[in-house]
Protein backbone atom coordinates (compact mmCIF):
# COMPACT_ATOMS: atom_id res chain seq x y z
CA UNK A 1 0.00 0.00 0.00
CA UNK A 2 1.27 3.45 -0.86
CA UNK A 3 0.54 6.01 1.81
CA UNK A 4 1.19 9.55 0.74
CA UNK A 5 2.72 11.82 3.30
CA UNK A 6 2.48 15.52 2.68
CA UNK A 7 5.97 16.96 2.37
CA UNK A 8 6.05 20.66 1.63
CA UNK A 9 8.88 22.72 0.20
CA UNK A 10 9.02 26.40 0.94
CA UNK A 11 11.44 27.41 -1.78
CA UNK A 12 13.53 30.54 -1.55
CA UNK A 13 14.61 32.10 -4.80
CA UNK A 14 18.01 32.22 -6.37
CA UNK A 15 18.26 35.95 -6.82
CA UNK A 16 19.23 38.88 -4.67
CA UNK A 17 20.53 42.34 -5.22
CA UNK A 18 22.58 44.71 -3.11
CA UNK A 19 21.69 48.31 -2.47
CA UNK A 20 23.72 51.24 -3.71
CA UNK A 21 25.98 53.26 -1.45
CA UNK A 22 24.51 56.64 -0.71
CA UNK A 23 26.69 58.98 1.29
CA UNK A 24 25.32 61.54 3.68
CA UNK A 25 27.46 64.36 2.25
CA UNK A 26 26.52 66.55 -0.70
CA UNK A 27 27.36 64.73 -3.91
CA UNK A 28 28.48 65.73 -7.37
CA UNK A 29 27.35 64.09 -10.60
CA UNK A 30 29.93 62.73 -13.00
CA UNK A 31 28.92 61.80 -16.54
CA UNK A 32 31.31 59.25 -18.02
CA UNK A 33 31.42 58.22 -21.68
CA UNK A 34 33.39 55.10 -22.62
CA UNK A 35 34.61 54.11 -26.05
CA UNK A 36 37.18 51.82 -27.61
CA UNK A 37 40.17 53.32 -29.49
CA UNK A 38 38.21 52.99 -32.77
CA UNK A 39 35.30 55.01 -31.34
CA UNK A 40 32.84 52.19 -30.62
CA UNK A 41 30.84 52.58 -27.38
CA UNK A 42 31.79 50.31 -24.48
CA UNK A 43 28.42 49.06 -23.22
CA UNK A 44 27.60 46.84 -20.24
CA UNK A 45 30.91 47.54 -18.50
CA UNK A 46 31.17 47.92 -14.73
CA UNK A 47 32.12 51.56 -14.12
CA UNK A 48 33.33 52.50 -10.63
CA UNK A 49 34.80 55.50 -8.86
CA UNK A 50 37.78 54.59 -6.68
CA UNK A 51 38.97 56.76 -3.81
CA UNK A 52 42.56 57.15 -2.60
CA UNK A 53 42.34 53.76 -0.83
CA UNK A 54 41.09 52.07 -4.03
CA UNK A 55 37.70 51.49 -2.38
CA UNK A 56 34.59 51.66 -4.58
CA UNK A 57 32.60 54.82 -3.78
CA UNK A 58 30.02 54.47 -6.58
CA UNK A 59 29.43 51.89 -9.29
CA UNK A 60 27.06 51.27 -12.17
CA UNK A 61 26.74 49.75 -15.64
CA UNK A 62 27.56 51.62 -18.84
CA UNK A 63 24.54 52.06 -21.10
CA UNK A 64 24.22 50.83 -24.67
CA UNK A 65 25.86 54.07 -25.79
CA UNK A 66 28.69 53.67 -23.26
CA UNK A 67 27.45 56.32 -20.82
CA UNK A 68 27.16 56.15 -17.03
CA UNK A 69 26.23 58.79 -14.45
CA UNK A 70 27.80 58.37 -11.01
CA UNK A 71 27.30 60.37 -7.81
CA UNK A 72 30.06 60.90 -5.26
CA UNK A 73 31.19 63.46 -2.65
CA UNK A 74 33.69 66.09 -3.80
CA UNK A 75 37.25 64.80 -3.87
CA UNK A 76 39.88 63.00 -5.94
CA UNK A 77 39.02 59.75 -7.73
CA UNK A 78 40.04 57.37 -10.47
CA UNK A 79 37.61 55.58 -12.77
CA UNK A 80 37.87 51.79 -13.00
CA UNK A 81 36.28 49.98 -15.94
CA UNK A 82 35.76 46.22 -15.76
CA UNK A 83 34.63 44.42 -18.91
CA UNK A 84 33.97 40.72 -19.21
CA UNK A 85 36.80 39.18 -21.20
CA UNK A 86 39.28 42.00 -20.52
CA UNK A 87 41.68 43.02 -17.78
CA UNK A 88 40.57 46.09 -15.78
CA UNK A 89 41.20 49.63 -17.05
CA UNK A 90 41.95 52.42 -14.54
CA UNK A 91 42.03 56.10 -15.50
CA UNK A 92 44.30 58.85 -14.26
CA UNK A 93 43.14 60.88 -11.26
CA UNK A 94 40.27 63.37 -11.58
CA UNK A 95 38.60 65.78 -9.17
CA UNK A 96 34.92 66.30 -8.33
CA UNK A 97 33.01 68.47 -8.85
CA UNK A 98 33.73 68.47 -12.58
CA UNK A 99 32.00 70.74 -15.07
CA UNK A 100 32.20 68.67 -18.23
CA UNK A 101 31.72 65.08 -19.33
CA UNK A 102 34.61 62.67 -18.81
CA UNK A 103 35.42 60.86 -22.06
CA UNK A 104 37.61 57.78 -21.72
CA UNK A 105 39.19 55.67 -24.43
CA UNK A 106 39.23 52.21 -22.87
CA UNK A 107 41.97 49.84 -23.97
CA UNK A 108 43.12 46.78 -22.02
CA UNK A 109 44.39 43.26 -22.84
CA UNK A 110 41.97 40.39 -23.35
CA UNK A 111 41.61 37.57 -20.83
CA UNK A 112 42.46 34.19 -22.37
CA UNK A 113 40.68 31.23 -20.75
CA UNK A 114 41.12 28.67 -23.54
CA UNK A 115 44.78 28.08 -22.71
CA UNK A 116 44.22 27.50 -18.99
CA UNK A 117 45.37 24.06 -17.87
CA UNK A 118 42.89 22.31 -15.56
CA UNK A 119 44.16 20.05 -12.79
CA UNK A 120 42.34 18.14 -10.07
CA UNK A 121 43.74 20.15 -7.15
CA UNK A 122 41.06 21.72 -4.98
CA UNK A 123 41.60 25.11 -3.31
CA UNK A 124 39.67 25.80 -0.12
CA UNK A 125 40.19 29.54 -0.55
CA UNK A 126 39.52 31.66 -3.63
CA UNK A 127 42.26 34.07 -2.54
CA UNK A 128 45.09 31.52 -2.52
CA UNK A 129 48.04 33.29 -4.25
CA UNK A 130 49.11 29.96 -5.75
CA UNK A 131 45.76 29.50 -7.52
CA UNK A 132 46.25 32.04 -10.32
CA UNK A 133 44.28 30.10 -12.95
CA UNK A 134 41.32 29.72 -10.59
CA UNK A 135 41.50 33.41 -9.71
CA UNK A 136 41.48 34.39 -13.39
CA UNK A 137 38.29 32.44 -14.11
CA UNK A 138 36.64 33.62 -10.90
CA UNK A 139 37.28 37.27 -11.79
CA UNK A 140 35.21 36.81 -14.96
CA UNK A 141 32.42 35.15 -12.94
CA UNK A 142 32.50 37.98 -10.42
CA UNK A 143 32.04 40.61 -13.14
CA UNK A 144 28.89 38.91 -14.46
CA UNK A 145 27.44 38.39 -10.97
CA UNK A 146 28.00 42.03 -10.08
CA UNK A 147 26.58 43.16 -13.43
CA UNK A 148 23.41 41.16 -12.77
CA UNK A 149 23.01 42.89 -9.40
CA UNK A 150 23.47 46.35 -10.90
CA UNK A 151 21.07 45.57 -13.75
CA UNK A 152 18.32 45.03 -11.19
CA UNK A 153 19.06 48.40 -9.58
CA UNK A 154 18.63 50.04 -12.99
CA UNK A 155 15.34 48.16 -13.50
CA UNK A 156 13.72 49.19 -10.20
CA UNK A 157 10.26 50.55 -10.97
CA UNK A 158 10.41 49.81 -14.71
CA UNK A 159 11.49 46.17 -15.06
CA UNK A 160 9.42 43.04 -14.65
CA UNK A 161 10.13 39.54 -13.38
CA UNK A 162 8.30 36.24 -13.25
CA UNK A 163 7.85 33.34 -10.83
CA UNK A 164 6.42 29.88 -11.39
CA UNK A 165 5.68 26.62 -9.60
CA UNK A 166 5.07 23.28 -11.30
CA UNK A 167 4.12 19.95 -9.73
CA UNK A 168 5.10 17.09 -12.05
CA UNK A 169 4.39 13.36 -11.70
CA UNK A 170 6.75 10.52 -12.58
CA UNK A 171 5.28 10.32 -16.09
CA UNK A 172 6.29 13.92 -16.75
CA UNK A 173 2.74 15.28 -16.58
CA UNK A 174 2.17 18.70 -15.00
CA UNK A 175 -0.49 18.09 -12.34
CA UNK A 176 -0.51 21.49 -10.68
CA UNK A 177 1.17 24.84 -10.39
CA UNK A 178 0.89 28.53 -11.05
CA UNK A 179 2.85 31.44 -12.48
CA UNK A 180 2.85 35.21 -12.18
CA UNK A 181 4.57 38.34 -13.46
CA UNK A 182 5.29 41.38 -11.32
CA UNK A 183 7.05 44.72 -11.40
CA UNK A 184 10.50 44.91 -9.86
CA UNK A 185 10.02 47.28 -6.93
CA UNK A 186 12.36 45.58 -4.46
CA UNK A 187 16.07 44.90 -4.62
CA UNK A 188 15.38 41.34 -3.47
CA UNK A 189 12.03 40.50 -5.10
CA UNK A 190 12.42 36.72 -4.81
CA UNK A 191 13.70 36.65 -1.23
CA UNK A 192 16.73 34.70 -0.05
CA UNK A 193 18.57 34.20 3.21
CA UNK A 194 21.68 36.24 3.95
CA UNK A 195 25.03 34.48 3.34
CA UNK A 196 25.86 34.50 7.07
CA UNK A 197 22.60 32.72 7.88
CA UNK A 198 23.21 30.09 5.20
CA UNK A 199 26.73 29.49 6.50
CA UNK A 200 25.40 29.04 10.04
CA UNK A 201 22.15 27.12 9.43
CA UNK A 202 22.72 25.49 6.04
CA UNK A 203 20.82 25.52 2.75
CA UNK A 204 18.07 23.13 3.88
CA UNK A 205 15.97 23.59 7.01
CA UNK A 206 13.39 21.09 8.28
CA UNK A 207 12.75 17.35 8.29
CA UNK A 208 10.33 14.66 7.11
CA UNK A 209 7.68 15.61 9.65
CA UNK A 210 7.78 19.39 9.26
CA UNK A 211 8.75 19.57 5.60
CA UNK A 212 11.78 21.33 4.18
CA UNK A 213 12.73 24.86 3.26
CA UNK A 214 15.47 24.91 0.63
CA UNK A 215 17.66 27.79 -0.54
CA UNK A 216 19.61 28.23 -3.76
CA UNK A 217 22.73 30.37 -4.22
CA UNK A 218 22.40 33.87 -5.62
CA UNK A 219 24.85 36.55 -6.72
CA UNK A 220 25.25 37.88 -3.19
CA UNK A 221 25.87 34.43 -1.72
CA UNK A 222 28.41 33.41 -4.36
CA UNK A 223 30.40 36.63 -3.90
CA UNK A 224 30.34 36.50 -0.10
CA UNK A 225 33.20 35.79 2.29
CA UNK A 226 30.96 33.23 4.01
CA UNK A 227 30.60 31.18 0.82
CA UNK A 228 34.34 31.38 0.15
CA UNK A 229 35.22 30.23 3.66
CA UNK A 230 32.84 27.25 3.68
CA UNK A 231 33.61 25.84 0.21
CA UNK A 232 36.52 24.44 -1.78
CA UNK A 233 37.01 25.28 -5.45
CA UNK A 234 38.70 23.76 -8.50
CA UNK A 235 38.68 24.23 -12.26
CA UNK A 236 36.91 21.65 -14.43
CA UNK A 237 36.11 20.88 -18.05
CA UNK A 238 33.60 18.26 -19.27
CA UNK A 239 33.18 16.56 -22.65
CA UNK A 240 29.43 17.13 -22.36
CA UNK A 241 30.01 20.90 -22.24
CA UNK A 242 32.46 21.70 -25.05
CA UNK A 243 33.78 25.23 -25.10
CA UNK A 244 33.10 25.83 -21.42
CA UNK A 245 35.35 25.98 -18.38
CA UNK A 246 33.90 25.64 -14.90
CA UNK A 247 34.63 26.46 -11.29
CA UNK A 248 33.43 23.49 -9.24
CA UNK A 249 32.57 24.09 -5.59
CA UNK A 250 31.83 21.78 -2.66
CA UNK A 251 31.64 22.16 1.14
CA UNK A 252 34.93 22.23 3.02
CA UNK A 253 35.93 18.91 4.64
CA UNK A 254 34.10 18.09 7.89
CA UNK A 255 31.25 20.52 7.18
CA UNK A 256 28.12 18.50 8.00
CA UNK A 257 25.39 21.11 7.56
CA UNK A 258 23.08 20.80 4.54
CA UNK A 259 24.90 22.59 1.75
CA UNK A 260 25.34 22.81 -2.02
CA UNK A 261 27.85 21.36 -4.45
CA UNK A 262 28.01 22.32 -8.10
CA UNK A 263 29.75 24.08 -10.99
CA UNK A 264 29.72 27.65 -12.31
CA UNK A 265 30.13 27.44 -16.11
CA UNK A 266 31.86 30.09 -18.24
CA UNK A 267 32.28 30.33 -22.03
CA UNK A 268 36.05 30.03 -22.38
CA UNK A 269 36.11 31.96 -25.68
CA UNK A 270 34.08 35.01 -24.61
CA UNK A 271 34.55 34.71 -20.79
CA UNK A 272 30.76 35.08 -20.41
CA UNK A 273 28.96 33.42 -17.51
CA UNK A 274 26.47 30.80 -18.72
CA UNK A 275 25.05 28.71 -15.89
CA UNK A 276 25.31 27.71 -12.25
CA UNK A 277 24.24 24.09 -11.67
CA UNK A 278 24.13 22.58 -8.19
CA UNK A 279 22.82 19.80 -5.95
CA UNK A 280 22.05 19.69 -2.26
CA UNK A 281 24.46 17.64 -0.12
CA UNK A 282 24.30 16.49 3.51
CA UNK A 283 20.53 16.90 3.23
CA UNK A 284 19.21 13.39 3.88
CA UNK A 285 16.42 12.31 1.52
CA UNK A 286 16.79 15.46 -0.59
CA UNK A 287 20.40 14.55 -1.38
CA UNK A 288 19.50 10.90 -1.90
CA UNK A 289 16.92 11.83 -4.53
CA UNK A 290 19.02 14.51 -6.29
CA UNK A 291 17.35 17.76 -5.25
CA UNK A 292 19.13 20.69 -6.86
CA UNK A 293 18.77 23.57 -9.23
CA UNK A 294 20.31 25.97 -11.72
CA UNK A 295 20.62 29.65 -12.61
CA UNK A 296 21.10 30.69 -16.26
CA UNK A 297 22.39 34.07 -17.34
CA UNK A 298 21.96 36.02 -20.56
CA UNK A 299 23.36 39.24 -21.98
CA UNK A 300 20.84 41.66 -23.49
CA UNK A 301 21.41 44.13 -26.32
CA UNK A 302 22.38 46.97 -23.96
CA UNK A 303 25.27 44.86 -22.65
CA UNK A 304 23.56 44.35 -19.28
CA UNK A 305 23.26 40.91 -17.69
CA UNK A 306 20.04 39.33 -16.48
CA UNK A 307 19.09 36.03 -14.89
CA UNK A 308 17.16 34.38 -17.71
CA UNK A 309 15.89 31.64 -15.44
CA UNK A 310 16.55 30.12 -12.04
CA UNK A 311 14.98 26.91 -10.83
CA UNK A 312 15.00 24.74 -7.72
CA UNK A 313 13.85 21.13 -8.06
CA UNK A 314 12.85 18.94 -5.12
CA UNK A 315 11.37 15.43 -5.18
CA UNK A 316 7.80 14.77 -4.10
CA UNK A 317 8.11 11.87 -1.67
CA UNK A 318 5.67 9.33 -0.32
CA UNK A 319 5.96 6.52 2.20
CA UNK A 320 5.23 3.05 0.86
CA UNK A 321 4.17 0.65 3.59
CA UNK A 322 2.77 -2.88 3.65
CA UNK A 323 2.34 -5.86 5.93
CA UNK A 324 5.20 -7.81 4.45
CA UNK A 325 7.69 -5.02 3.74
CA UNK A 326 9.26 -2.28 5.79
CA UNK A 327 8.16 1.29 5.15
CA UNK A 328 10.27 3.07 2.57
CA UNK A 329 10.46 6.42 0.84
CA UNK A 330 9.63 6.55 -2.87
CA UNK A 331 9.59 9.39 -5.38
CA UNK A 332 6.16 10.08 -6.86
CA UNK A 333 7.05 13.27 -8.71
CA UNK A 334 8.83 16.57 -8.28
CA UNK A 335 8.20 20.25 -7.69
CA UNK A 336 9.97 22.88 -9.79
CA UNK A 337 9.98 26.42 -8.44
CA UNK A 338 11.68 29.20 -10.31
CA UNK A 339 11.58 32.51 -12.08
CA UNK A 340 13.69 35.12 -13.76
CA UNK A 341 13.98 38.68 -14.99
CA UNK A 342 12.03 39.43 -18.15
CA UNK A 343 14.12 40.94 -20.91
CA UNK A 344 13.93 44.75 -20.80
CA UNK A 345 12.20 46.41 -23.76
CA UNK A 346 14.69 47.31 -26.49
CATH code: domain of residue 79: 2.60.40.1120
Same domain, 87 and 134: no
Q: Give the torsion through C-alpha atoms of 98, 100, 105, 108, to 10 deg.
A: 20
Same domain, yes or no, for 244 and 153? yes
The residue among 138, 128, 114 whose CA lies nearest residue 268 is: 114
Same domain membership, residue 190 and residue 42? no
The whole domain housing 67 covers 28-105
Would 117 be classed as within a structural domain? Answer: no
| Percentage of the chain modeled with pLDDT above 70 | 87
Backbone region of residue 19 per phi and psi (left: phi > 0; alpha: psi in -120 to 50; beta: other values)? beta
Residue 5 lies in a domain: no
**Secondary structure element (H or E) that encloses residue 251, with its range:** strand 244-251
Quick check: is 153 in a domain? yes
The C-alpha atoms of residue 36 and residue 45 are separated, in whole angstroms, by 12
Residues 175 and 299 in one domain: yes
- Closest-CA residue to 140 (of 120, 113, 108, 105): 113
Quick one: pLDDT at residue 190?
A: 66
- Both 100 and 152 in one domain: the answer is no
| 207 and 321 part of one domain | yes
Residue 13 forms part of a structural domain: no
pLDDT of residue 11: 40
Beta-strand pair 305-320/231-236: unpaired
38 within some domain:
yes
* Tens-digit pLDDT profile for residues 224-265: 999 999 999 999 999 999 999 999 999 999 999 999 999 999
Q: Where does 18-87 have alpha helices with state H? A: none
Q: Are residues 139 and 277 in the same domain?
A: yes
d(CA 144, CA 138): 10
- Does any domain span residue 165? yes
136: enclosing H helix or E strand = helix 132-155
Residues 138 and 254 in one domain: yes
Identify which of 343, 267, 268 has the alpha carbon closest to the alpha carbon of residue 299.
343
How far apart CA 191 and CA 119 sit, in angstroms, is 37
23 in any annotated domain: no
Q: What is the pLDDT of residue 188?
A: 61
Mark whether 98 and 141 lie in a shared domain: no
Look at phi and psi of residue 97 and say left if phi exceeds 0, alpha if psi is from -120 to 50, else beta: beta
Q: Measure CA of the first residue to CA of the last residue in the chain; give whole Å.
A: 56
Read off the pLDDT of each residue in 104-127 and give the average, rounded to a whole number: 83
Amino acid sequence: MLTRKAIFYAVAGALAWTSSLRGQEATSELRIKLSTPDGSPVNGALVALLNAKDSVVAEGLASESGIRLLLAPRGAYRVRVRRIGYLPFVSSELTLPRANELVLSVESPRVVLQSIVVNSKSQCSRSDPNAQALSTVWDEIDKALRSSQLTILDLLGIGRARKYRRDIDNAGRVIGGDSSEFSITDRRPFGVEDPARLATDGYVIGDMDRGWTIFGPDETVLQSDEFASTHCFRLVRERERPGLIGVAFEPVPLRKLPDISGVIWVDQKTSELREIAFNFVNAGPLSRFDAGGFTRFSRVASGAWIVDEWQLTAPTLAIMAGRSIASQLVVVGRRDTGGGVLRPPQ
